[in-house]
Homo-oligomer: A and B are copies of this chain.
Amino acid sequence: MKTNSTPIPGYSYGTAEVARSPVSIEQLQSLKITAGFTDEDERYLRLAGEVLADQTEKIVLHWRSGIIANIPNLARHSRTPEGDPIPAYLGASNLRFQQWIRDTCLRPYDQDWLDYQNEIALRHTTLKKNKTDGARSTPFVPFRDILAFVPVMNETIKPYLAAKGHSSEEVDKMHRAWMKSLQIQLALWLAPYAEAGHTSPQW
């Protein structure tokens, strides 16, 4: 696991602050089977992690400034209710976004990973959004927008996977493993979103 020279603000992976996931390791195993996520996918995700590790800043900039910033319905989630930018919030969450790419590819999908999936999801709901950074922004990100944005991340990640000279077959395998992982992660986010939705729907 690549470690950063400076700690990432609000990144609490593997610490005691992170609550237990409502999804069990057995349920995760079942999701992997459903998604056709195999040991080969795991190996190609590791390779993707090596390929992407020094490109994460560029990728997140591409997503945030190149795409999200131009879609008002998405951009508002890192701005104030009045639409003003919050550079400290965006900066910290961008660093965590970069680390999420590395975690997606390089972490073992064990209890710590499962627990942190739950934490990340909660941080997009009314239960935890803005709290880590003390930001004044939208109360939650509707889950449907996250679901719908995934194809964009899937499509735009591909050239970065191809940027280190791997064969198109290897790039395809890395890409398929990435897409499966993202979909499994979305499936893991359902329970925390449902938890947050008890008080107000956040779909």
Residues of A within 8 A of B (CB): 30-31, 33-36, 67, 71, 73-74, 143-145, 147-152, 154-155, 176, 179-180, 183-184, 186-188, 190-191, 194, 197, 201, 203
Contact = CB atoms under 8 A, between A and B. Distances in A.
A36 B188 CA distance: 24
Contact of A183 (B71, B143, B150): B150
Contacts of A176: 151, 155
Given A191-B203, A203-B194, A183 B34 contact: no
8 contacts: A30-B73, A34-B71, A35-B148, A36-B155, A143-B187, A147-B190, A155-B176, A194-B203
Q: How many copies are assembled? A: 2
Contacts of A152: 34-36
